[in-house]
Structure 1
Amino acid sequence: MALAAQAHHHKGLCMTRNRLSLEMKVGLFIVGGVGLLVFFLFTIGDLATYFSPGYAIRVVFDSAIGISRGSPVQYAGMEVGKVKAVSLLYSADQVPPKVELLIQLPRSVVVRADDSASISTFGLLGEKYLEISPGSGEGAALQSGDMLTGQPPVSTEDVIERSNEVLNQLKQTLSGINSLVGDPDARLYLKETSQEARDAIRYWKLLGARLNVAMSHAEAGQGNLGKFLYDEALYREMEAFVQDMKQNPWKLLARPKKQ
């Protein structure tokens, strides 16, 4: 009996160990599968980009500061894809290497050989992105694997240098204004010029008012201008005089007889 009980107990322990071993294997398999999936997602990136229908082209820059895998790609201001990979492109000669961006685009977006590519920024200090601007539309459509040469990006140093140049020019302008205002002769000249400008404006206002009055009188048939425009008898006399001059132009040359 003791031997039978011992054998039964040993058999139960073996079954328990086998069950634990199987559960451990299943658990390790699940954990390993999840780990591989996470690694795959972080390594490959956006799976939709890779397995979605479309085509991939290469864009080459001298420098691509701020661009990395996953950076947005815009075409004519609309986001159409992402950067799949960033790599250095070496050549046989000793020139510095280029930076090659591999981008995935949908078939609905047609990039042509005369399109331009540049690196832009969302806002002043925002995220960098690749901007493709349409050209004339006459270039050949790029196919998968074709290359597009990007425009050299404007460096931060260039922006700072240009800003300093603008500030220096502004300082010189303000300095000239200050020196002009500080000169007594210049102040007197500006004062006289301002007074003359005010007098001229006052004169033109007065002239305009008088002209309005004259036109009002003319419309009412008053004054010489009004009579000339609206007096029917005077109009007929002028018309007869003009007609007579057309028929007898010699009268303009004839001298009046002395009395």
Structure 2
Amino acid sequence: MRRKLDVELKAGMFLFFGIVMAMITILMMGGAKTFFEKYYRINMEVADAGGIGKGAAIRSGGLKIGTVEEINFTENYAGVRVKMKINEDYHQRIREDSVVRFQTQGVLGDKYLEITGGSSAKPVIPDGGMINAEMGKDLNSMLAEGGNAVELLKENLANLKVITGAMAQKNQMNNIMRDLEVTTANLKEFSSEMKGAGVGKELAATMKNVKVVSERLKNGEGTIGALFADSSLYEDLKNLIGGANRNNVLKFFVRQAVKSSDEAKEKK
């Protein structure tokens, strides 16, 4: 009976250790070395957590070096304190001049922290120490800035439209002034030609003759002038014509004179 118990006990222990080894093997193959790795902690304080949550990945140089362990408000509630758990193997990389940046990964926009490598001249940040943080621009901020840029672009395009319109008006005014200059030059040339051809002198002589004729008419010189100056001559001529209308003989001669005048015009 005792021998049977010993066999069962040995079988149970063998099975237990077999299960443990299988679990360890699975964890090792899956890349989970949590139980065998050493960690140290560093902290940072920021005004806003920026969408980072507990368990968010911490990367440096493209490698995952830790996770976010805790996120709490600071003592005066003025900001947020983020406690990070970093793999001990990367302790020498994180120096006092290292900086934590908020980053976004993938299409879904998963948040993670990126720690820049420090220079060898600076001391290593000790366990529980503080590291500087640099708030990056998230998608919403970039979209907001993009909207502002679009508005600014619209304003610039509107200003450009005004400038081009003013330039077009200026070009139109230049064309008008050019046409006026051409017209002025043509008028000047025309007046020079008239002056050279003696047209001005002929026009002045004609106006002088008209003035002389008008003066003679006014003074009653000549037949037409006498008619203008003496109204009795006009009445006598009127009576003569009226009598001629009543006299058949005179009427015949008047008709013949008119007919002769028309025939002469037709021959010409």
Tell me which interval the TM-score lies in, with the shorter structure as reference length.
0.3 to 0.5
Structure with more relative contact order (C-alpha pairs < 8 Å, separation 6 or more): 1
Larger Rg: 2
Q: TM-score scaled to structure 1, two decimals?
A: 0.46
Q: TM-score scaled to structure 2, two decimals?
A: 0.44
